[in-house]
Structure 1
Amino acid sequence: MSGDAAALSVAQQDRVFRPHGVVGASVEELVAELRSTGYDPLVSPVSREADEIRLTGAAMDPQAVGPGDLFVAVSGARAHGADFIATALASGAAAVLTDGDGAEKIREAIGYRTPVIEVTRVRDAAGPSAALIYGNTATSGPALFGVTGTNGKTTTTYFLRSLLDAVLDSHDQATGLIGTIEIAAGSETIPSKMTTPEAVQLHSLMALFRESGITAAAMEVSSHAISYQRTSGLFFNVAGFTNLTQDHLDLHGSMEGYFEAKAALFARSRTRSSVIIVDDPWGLQMAEAATGHVVRLATDDDPAAEADWIVTEVSAEALGSRFTLHSRRTGELIRCRTGLPGRFNVSNAALAAVMVLTAQERAELAFSRAEIISALEQADPFTISVPGRMQVIGTAPAAIVDFAHNPDAMIRTLEAAATASQGRTILVIGAAGERDITKRPLMGAIAVRMADHVIISDDDPHGEDPAQIRSALMEGARAALQDEALATRLEEISPRLDAITRAVELAEPRDTIILAGRGHEVHQDFAGTKHPIDDRVELARALRGRGYPTAPDAPDTPVAARPAATPRRDSTPEGGSAA
């Protein structure tokens, strides 16, 4: 893997995930495995020659198929994978796993000249199939630490990996990371194409991790990944739950449906131990729904009576916080800190710590409790820069880039800003297109309630009209301004680059600037066309242009040149007196 692979397609990324050596499995062995686990496969043609074909890889993208691969042909939004059987076979596919529709398409296209394994739940079966081919079992390794929840997944996985690095380094063992921003094996990284890769890629990656000496890995697990069976066939040593707030209702339909998707991760059949933050009713409900070994963690000021661990003695330290982890079962007290702003990062850090402590307690990894406590108290593993997650770009004014892209995340980010700011809070927000539209007015209203100057701009419109997305945000903001007699200044500025420039123009050294919604992303998608822009780079550039200091690790390389664009802004900013 390579850090300069930003332009990799999903298919190219799939190839990067491949291990060098694979024992593989025969078609006969794969069919037997699927039959024994209840998938009731139908195979054609049936012959000794077909049964003995050896499968040494698996791919879902026809462009990623290699010699000896099992091609997993699933039904997609626009086409069926079986429509691309000719491409897969030309690349060396040795057999196909598909559903009834796919099997019919393949027979019509090529007859019976390659083995086709037909199952009803093809996405679900893809994981166990790839697991068999790549030699993955519940105990084969690496030890997996999965994190799910609406907000905090990325930061918690970075915290997890940092803590695991601190305790495993003396054992000459390396760690991995799978998530929204990047996929890493030791010091090698590539950018991610999705929060959680497809099942066939994940199982290939597990084999590559073992081959690379990775003994533990932290992984984000999205609700999409669970719903689309991307984690099928994986076994987690410890899974953690951050929180559940409104998001992704376009996929799940309701908060109850969203909850059920997340809860599937915490079943005994796929996770040995669960660590659940029980700060609200959803967390308490998740702890009740989880099976197997369940550890409850309370991180708020009024901890739940049934919590096994609680966070106490939280105190501000610079932009970050110090806190104590208290085991209610043993009375143990562990002093911790994080350098990242916000009380929610205390929760993220506490979750990472308790997950690793739980793994040690359950003998999941070969390190001692003393080593974990030493790392927590001396190595400062939770003071790291997480790309686009409360990432500090400037210091005076304080300038922060965060991925907050839903109502709850915005509240948490703005609360953190209010605690740290000595002056005004200047906020730039947008909303993604083709996502839950009900949250847009809510986000607009939250913005003007909690910030002093709000600039509504573009996020990733995708196939929607950017002006209509901004209009929904503005509607919620204007209603709150009027109904609640707020003094907040409100502007609408597009394109986003001009909104960022305007925010810095407005700021004085005691103020705080927040660019919310895009985090680490480096392109905006306008109807399928990618326009390069990195909030972190542009914010640093604008700050330096005004003579303001930037953080030591702030980016200093501008993105590619962009065509000039004319800003679209209200002629008269709304609310309050002139800035």
Structure 2
Amino acid sequence: MRPELVQPVSLARAAASLPEGSPAITPAPGTAAGAWDVEVTGISINSAQVLPGDLYLALPGARHHGAGFAAGAEAAGAAAVLTDAAGLDQLPETALPVFLTADVRRLVGPLSAAVFNSQPQDGSAPLLFGVTGTNGKTTTTYFITSLLKALGRTTGLIGTIEILAGAEAIPSVLTTPESPQVHGLLALMRERALDAAAMEVSSHAISYRRVDGVVFDVAGFTNLTQDHLDLHGSMEEYFAAKAELFRADRSRRAVVTVDEEWGRRMAEAAGTRGVTLSTSGAASDADWQVRSVQREGLGHSFELHGPQGTPLRVRTGLPGTFNVSNAALALAMVLESGADPAAVQDALDRQDPFTVEVPGRMQLVCEAPAAIVDFAHNPDALQRTLESVRRPEGRVIVVFGATGERDQTKRPLMGEIAARLADVVIVTDDDPHDEDEAAIRADVLRGARSAAGQDGHGPLVLEEAPRAAAIYRAVELAGPGDTILVAGRGHEVWQEVKGVNHALDDRVELRTALAKAGFTVPTYDGVES
């Protein structure tokens, strides 16, 4: 996640580049003033990832202080250590220069930007798109990169499913990596002369300062619905975290979807640097507007009207009207970056870039029955997905659960939504982490059974675990004209139970179950294994 060549930067020069108001850096007692001349070629906040020449940033952690691991960083070749007063007290004896600051975390991003020279002002940095919101971030970033490729651009991607630096794929663990990795990746993309990159920007990434020091050329907002309240506490705090992306020092331009109140408030936060997008089809004074939405196979066609005058004709083969919103946002962001509308229309017509498959996002596994795997893991996403897969004929069978050690209030809400919109509800396990699986299922079942009622006219509600067994049960109940939706995990290939990762891919389990039941399953050589 780093460029091959990094120009060494002295600690004095790196410190001088920090934004005004940053915490001051001073040499620790015993560190000579000449240590400011020490040159570094990288940044690390993890002693196990230190490379020779790195500045090791020893941060306070939930259980341990990073200063306690400074010996490992020194052995790996670190050039210097930056920590706080508490870290200095725990620092083992070291020959490295040691520097102090009041808030190490605040300096991780800006120092990473300075050392890796990730976004120089000489025009060599890739055009950078950032997408935030509760749902749709992954698909929108895939749409952006697909459209840019159709325009002949070379692209990078940083997101939940994978990280791409041109043709090279790097497995992704976090929606947004830690700040040194982000800046290292941006510098790597610049070194490889990529034209543009798209990045998912989660509220965690903003709150934990993983995108500090990054400036987005165009930032986009999808929507805001209940999720991550275990971190943020309230929707107001959740909104405030997302709004940080639209500050003037973080994004030069913004496209904000204003289909609901949170979006309208986000547009206010973006101010004059932002333009608005309406995807509801209703009358609107938004700068960009989706109109003439028509069902076309599993997907939709539509028109995007905007300041360019002539509307653009667009289609996406991905199911769900929410993918119309995702496609419209991606398109508006690319146009706001300066792309020529005529060239964009030509690319839309010739290459159909919004029909790109997004792993685990409305991913079609089988057509009869229609079998779909999706990442829907919160109430709004589950509702939109269930509404989108309903067909005139046939039943909807949904398999889903809830994640352990996360917002518990959404569990019964998701159960209620499933019971209201599906014909068969199979409640199973998601990632329980260290929480009791049966207790999580009970929370979801409470909402489902409450909505199903006792009159016998509601959906069939079942509890089935483990998850693979629930998927097999859904296939057993399905006929060729039905729709099976396996929701919540999408592209994920591991299930965490009591600290142990178990191999589990919903797409693989669904394909296997369908084949064993005698259904015709298309061959696939995609990402899952």
Q: TM-score, normalising length from structure 1? A: 0.88
Kindly indicate whether the alpha-carbon contact (under 8 Å) linking 1:246 and 1:408 is maintained by their aligned counterparts in 2. Answer: yes
Residues 1:496 and 2:467 aligned together: yes
Kindly state the Cα deviation for residue 138 of structure 1 after the two structures are TM-superposed.
5.6
The share of aligned pairs that are identical, in percent, is: 53
Kindly indicate whether the alpha-carbon contact (under 8 Å) linking 2:281 and 2:289 is maintained by their aligned counterparts in 1. Answer: no
Q: 1:56 to 1:554 in 2, by over 3 A?
A: closer
Provide the C-alpha distance between the structure 1 equivalents of 2:176 and 2:52, rounded to a whole number of angstroms.
Answer: 25
Q: Can you list the C-alpha shifts for 1:459-494, whole angstroms capped at 9, x where unaligned?
A: 000010111100100111111122787520000000
Provide the C-alpha distance between the structure 2 equivalents of 1:432 and 1:138, rounded to a whole number of angstroms.
Answer: 41
Kindly state the Cα deviation for residue 372 of structure 1 after the two structures are TM-superposed.
1.6
Counterpart residue identity of residue 440, structure 2 = I
Matches within 5 A, 1:553-572: 553=524
Q: 1:189 to 1:505 in 2, by over 3 A?
A: same
Kindly state the Cα deviation for residue 555 of structure 1 after the two structures are TM-superposed.
5.9
Provide the C-alpha distance between the structure 2 equivalents of 1:199 and 1:523, rounded to a whole number of angstroms.
Answer: 25
Counterpart residue identity of residue 104, structure 1 = D
Q: Can you list the C-alpha shifts for 1:413-444, whole angstroms capped at 9, x where unaligned?
A: 001011x4620000001001011000000001
Q: What is the aligned partner in structure 2 of residue 100 from structure 1?
A: 85
Residues 1:123 and 2:105 aligned together: yes
Residues 1:355 and 2:333 aligned together: yes
Q: 1:407 to 1:484 in 2, by over 3 A?
A: farther
Kindly indicate whether the alpha-carbon contact (under 8 Å) linking 1:268 and 1:291 is maintained by their aligned counterparts in 2. Answer: no
Residues 1:436 and 2:407 aligned together: yes
Residues 1:193 and 2:165 aligned together: no
Provide the C-alpha distance between the structure 2 equivalents of 1:137 and 1:181, rounded to a whole number of angstroms.
Answer: 24
Matches within 5 A, 1:315-330: 315-327=294-306, 329-330=307-308
Kindly state the Cα deviation for residue 188 of structure 1 after the two structures are TM-superposed.
1.1
Matches within 5 A, 1:63-102: 63-102=48-87
Counterpart residue identity of residue 491, structure 1 = L
User: Which 10-residue stretch deviates more, 543-552 or 227-236?
Assistant: 543-552
CA RMSD of aligned residues (A): 1.7
Provide the C-alpha distance between the structure 2 equivalents of 1:465 and 1:396, rounded to a whole number of angstroms.
Answer: 36
Q: What is the aligned partner in structure 1 of residue 342 from structure 2?
A: 370
Kindly indicate whether the alpha-carbon contact (under 8 Å) linking 2:31 and 2:98 is maintained by their aligned counterparts in 1. Answer: no
Provide the C-alpha distance between the structure 2 equivalents of 1:233 and 1:122, rounded to a whole number of angstroms.
Answer: 14
Q: Can you list the C-alpha shifts for 1:295-344, whole angstroms capped at 9, x where unaligned?
A: 10000032433x001000101111000000011x4432000000000000
Kindly indicate whether the alpha-carbon contact (under 8 Å) linking 1:536 and 1:555 is maintained by their aligned counterparts in 2. Answer: no
Secondary structure class of the residue paired with 1:214: coil
Kindly state the Cα deviation for residue 352 of structure 1 after the two structures are TM-superposed.
0.2
Q: Can you list the C-alpha shifts for 1:8-54, whole angstroms capped at 9, x where unaligned?
A: xxxxxxxxx12110003111212323375532222224535311111
Kindly indicate whether the alpha-carbon contact (under 8 Å) linking 1:426 and 1:514 is maintained by their aligned counterparts in 2. Answer: yes
Kindly indicate whether the alpha-carbon contact (under 8 Å) linking 1:338 and 1:383 is maintained by their aligned counterparts in 2. Answer: yes
Provide the C-alpha distance between the structure 1 equivalents of 2:170 and 2:481, rounded to a whole number of angstroms.
Answer: 37
Counterpart residue identity of residue 102, structure 1 = G
Kindly indicate whether the alpha-carbon contact (under 8 Å) linking 1:326 and 1:334 is maintained by their aligned counterparts in 2. Answer: yes
Provide the C-alpha distance between the structure 2 equivalents of 1:291 and 1:91, rounded to a whole number of angstroms.
Answer: 46
Kindly indicate whether the alpha-carbon contact (under 8 Å) linking 2:45 and 2:56 is maintained by their aligned counterparts in 1. Answer: yes
Residues 1:39 and 2:11 aligned together: no
Q: 1:294 to 1:552 in 2, by over 3 A?
A: farther
Counterpart residue identity of residue 319, structure 1 = L
Residues 1:308 and 2:279 aligned together: no
Provide the C-alpha distance between the structure 1 equivalents of 2:387 and 2:328, rounded to a whole number of angstroms.
Answer: 19
Matches within 5 A, 1:131-530: 131-137=113-119, 139=121, 140-167=124-151, 169=152, 173-305=153-285, 307-327=286-306, 329-360=307-338, 368-418=340-390, 420=391, 422-482=393-453, 486-530=457-501
Provide the C-alpha distance between the structure 1 equivalents of 2:297 and 2:216, rounded to a whole number of angstroms.
Answer: 36
Q: Where in structure 1 are there 5+ consecutive unaligned residues? A: 1-16, 361-366, 560-579
Q: Can you list the C-alpha shifts for 1:197-237, whole angstroms capped at 9, x where unaligned?
A: 00011111111111122120010000000000000011100
Kindly state the Cα deviation for residue 547 of structure 1 after the two structures are TM-superposed.
2.0
Secondary structure class of the residue paired with 2:144: helix
Q: What is the aligned partner in structure 2 of residue 19 from structure 1?
A: 3
Kindly state the Cα deviation for residue 548 of structure 1 after the two structures are TM-superposed.
1.4
Secondary structure class of the residue paired with 1:463: coil
Provide the C-alpha distance between the structure 1 equivalents of 2:464 and 2:416, rounded to a whole number of angstroms.
Answer: 17
Kindly state the Cα deviation for residue 378 of structure 1 after the two structures are TM-superposed.
2.3
Provide the C-alpha distance between the structure 2 equivalents of 1:27 and 1:434, rounded to a whole number of angstroms.
Answer: 41
Provide the C-alpha distance between the structure 2 equivalents of 1:291 and 1:323, rounded to a whole number of angstroms.
Answer: 28
- Counterpart selection for 1:61 from 46, 49, 63: 46
Q: Can you list the C-alpha shifts for 1:38-95, whole angstroms capped at 9, x where unaligned?
A: 3222222453531111100111111000111011221222211111111111101111
Counterpart residue identity of residue 517, structure 1 = G
Provide the C-alpha distance between the structure 2 equivalents of 1:404 and 1:548, rounded to a whole number of angstroms.
Answer: 25
Q: 1:56 to 1:506 in 2, by over 3 A?
A: same
Secondary structure class of the residue paired with 1:34: coil
Q: 1:484 to 1:292 in 2, by over 3 A?
A: farther
Kindly state the Cα deviation for residue 550 of structure 1 after the two structures are TM-superposed.
2.4
Alignment length, in residue pairs?
Answer: 526
Secondary structure class of the residue paired with 2:464: strand
Residues 1:51 and 2:36 aligned together: yes
Secondary structure class of the residue paired with 2:337: helix
